[in-house]
Chain A
Amino acid sequence: MKALTTEEIRAVIARGKLRDNLFKALGIFCLSFALLVIVALIADMVIKGSERFTLDFFLNFASRRATQAGILSAWVGSLLVMFVTALAAVPLGVAAGLYLEEYAKRNWITTVIEINITNLAAVPSIVYGLLALGIFVYQFGFGQSILSAGLTLALLILPIIIVSTREAIRAIPAMIREGSMAVGATRWQTCRYHIVPYAMPGILTGVIIGLARAIGETAPIITIGALTFIAFLPPAPFAGEPAAGLFDWVMAPFTVMPIQIFNWTSRPDPAFEVNAAAAGFVLMAMVLSMNAVAIYLRYKMRKNIKW
Chain B
Amino acid sequence: MKQAEVRQEKTSISFKNKKSYILDRVMPILLFLCAAVSIVTTIGIVYTLMSETIGFFRKIPVFDFLFGTKWSPLIAPKSFGILPLLSGTMLITVIACVFAIPVGLACAIYLSEYAPTKVRKIVKPILEVLAGVPTIVYGYFALTFVTPMIRMIFPSTGVFNALSAGLVVGIMIIPMVSSLSEDAMQAVPKSLRNGAFALGATRFEVALKVVVPAAFSGIVSSSVLAFSRAIGETMIVAVAAGATPKLSFNPLESIQTMTGYIVQVSLGDTPHGSIEYGTIYAVGMTLFVITLLLNILALYVARRFREEY
| A and B together in one complex | no
* A positions within 8 Å CB-CB of B: none
* B positions within 8 Å CB-CB of A: none
